[in-house]
Chain A
Amino acid sequence: MTSERMKAIKMLEELIGYFFRNNINDVQMDLHYGETECKIMLEGTCLSRPADLDQLNELLNTPRQPELEEYYWGLLGGNDTRQELNLLGSLVDCADVSYNLQKLSITVFRKN
């Protein structure tokens, strides 16, 4: 498996962690790993709007920082107490974050 696919798995893990931390236990996931772009979408029912949603939106839409990738991507995912949203933001090109009618939806895009 290439490290690019591993990064996609780690990004998904990190996003699942975010949903779990917001008590969303029923999560619909969609991962598309294309030739030019990787797209990950998660959706779940959340009773109240996460307090840090605007911050998350901003982090995920900051410009990608390639220099951080190879050094730090191993930190993504796999931790039940800590978030790596800054790092996630530096690995994705852009994101669509929305909260409507108690539905939290996050889609991140990363050019391969």
Chain B
Amino acid sequence: MEKSAELTRNAQLPKSEEEIQERKGFVVVDETVKYRIVTVIACILVLSSIFFNTPSEILAGMTRIVVAPSILVTDYLIVGNVGAAFFNSGLLMLAAIAIARRNEVNMNGPVMAAVFTIAGFALFGKNIYNVWAIMVGVLLHARYQQEKFSKFILIAFFGTALGPLISQITFGLGLSPALAFPAGILAGIIAGFCLPPLANHFVKFHQGFNLYNIGFTAGVTGMFFMAMLRAFDFQNPSTLIVAEGYNRLLGTYLFVFFTGMLITGFYFSRRVMPGLTRIWRQSGRLVSDFVTSNGFGASMMNMALLGYISTGYVLLVGGQLNGPTIGGIFTIVGFGAFGKHVKNILPVLAGVYLASLVQVWEVNATGALLAALFGTTLAPIAGYYGWGYGIIAGFFHMSMVMNVGYLHGGMNLYNNGFSGGFVAAVLVPIFDALKKSS
């Protein structure tokens, strides 16, 4: 982007790359290198699939995944198999990276969060059939506005949370294929077209304290579609398909995966602790792009640390590593570049854990685990107001998230983002008032 002529006079700005790095205090990593690293991560996901299953098993599993209705909670490790789920995950992550690169978008914090979130949810709801209609809808909106698609790319990526809307209409309502395919795809395109103005509108509702803003937006959109379906006597069945018994295998896999990220981050960090502590000092409230403000290396290390913590939480409370929980872990890791860090997620995790001790849900049940992992969407509350407020937010989130899934019939994969929007919208004005009076 060209600078204005007047600003070439700005003598305060450093000139050379070294001066910029000295001033910023971190290594500025070239975009090409960042893209290569994230592409390698996606390729690892794709290639690791053959360690779990043979190519023919993966192909058969992918076929079953594509035709699954995919509403919450559908674990692709069960529907397909472990290899197929990871293959699907890596493939969608690669596609997202390619789209971002083609649209000349920098691999910054929000884009990293988006591609990791896509990879995570491709283990339990997003697949190579159900994401495209949403993206096409957003693309059509960009064309309609005569704007570049790059301005809407985050909405397109995160908006794939509504993938099950397409899959459920296509494969889950018992419609004839001649009607089901066009109806499902059309619903996805309409939803995608509507998402951009809604996303911008709803972000004000929670004032940037709910990191999964599209989760709230998609929740409202999904609620609207579900209401229409119910009006025509279509119901979504309550679904809970989750894998068990993979803790040792997948725990080892994730440990190696995050260690690789930690080493990569360390390699690109000029000074390790100052970079991390700078991240930890931030509230994480939207918009906190750690890659731009604190460097790629420190962000990658923060992401890896969050991976250890979230995996550790699942294992410590006796939970199961499966598609949904690993999806949650990948999403936390992704948002380690865009709002989440060690200090602001722990209070929310503690709040959800405390809630599960006194409320009716078991701490290691799938729903409670997802509430804990994805509840970290409220991490900015802990980062901004303090750890006590974060615990309160986590506590309320647990109750709220168990109540809102019915509204969209499981068609919004970011159910916790939907719930988090309500929790933040209610708590933030109250916390503001308390802070002001104190």
Interface residues of A (CB under 8 A from B): 37, 39, 54, 57-58, 61-75, 79, 81-82, 84, 86-87, 90, 93-97, 107, 109, 111
Contacts and interface: CB of A to CB of B under 8 A. Distances in A.
Interface of B: 1-4, 6-7, 9-10, 12-13, 23-24, 105-106, 108, 110-111, 147-148, 150-155, 196, 199-201, 203-204, 207-208, 213, 285-289, 292-293, 432, 435-436
A95 B23 CA distance: 18
B382 to A, nearest CB: 16
Contacts of A90: 287, 289
Contact of B4 (A54, A66, A82, A94): A94
A67 B292 contact: no
Given A81-B432, A90-B287, A93-B1, A70 B196 contact: yes
A72 B200 contact: yes
A62 B292 contact: yes
Given A65-B108, A94-B4, 10 more contacts: A37-B4, A65-B289, A67-B153, A69-B151, A71-B152, A72-B287, A73-B200, A75-B203, A86-B293, A90-B289
Contacts of A61: 7, 10, 13
B151 A96 contact: no
A20 to B, nearest CB: 16
26 contacts: A37-B4, A61-B13, A65-B108, A67-B105, A67-B108, A67-B150, A67-B151, A70-B196, A70-B200, A71-B199, A71-B200, A71-B203, A74-B200, A75-B204, A75-B287, A82-B285, A87-B287, A90-B289, A94-B7, A96-B6, A96-B10, A107-B6, A109-B3, A109-B7, A111-B1, A111-B2
Contacts of A73: 200
A67 B154 contact: yes
Contacts of B204: 74-75
B28 to A, nearest CB: 11
Contacts of B287: 68, 72, 75, 84, 86-87, 90
B110 A67 contact: yes
Contacts of A64: 1
Contact of A72 (B13, B105, B286): B286
Given A72-B200, A73-B200, A75-B203, A66 B148 contact: yes
Contacts of A54: 12
A72 B203 CA distance: 7
A71 B155 contact: yes
Nearest to B105: A67
A70 B352 CA distance: 32
- Main SS class of interface, A: mixed
A97 B12 CA distance: 9
B3 A93 contact: yes
Contacts of B7: 61, 94-96, 109
Nearest to A81: B432
Instruction: Point out which of B12, B111, B435 has the most chain A C-beta atoms below 10 A from its C-beta.
Output: B12
The 5 closest A-B pairs by CB, nearest first: A109-B4, A74-B200, A94-B7, A70-B151, A87-B287
A63 B153 CA distance: 17
Which of A54, A65, A71, A82 is most buried by chain B, counting CB atoms within 10 A of its CB? A71
B12 to A, nearest CB: 6
Nearest to A39: B4
A94 B23 CA distance: 18
Best-surrounded residue of A37, A66, A93 (most CB of chain B within 10 A):
A66
A93 B147 CA distance: 17
A106 to B, nearest CB: 12
Contacts of A97: 12
A79 B199 CA distance: 19
A2 to B, nearest CB: 10
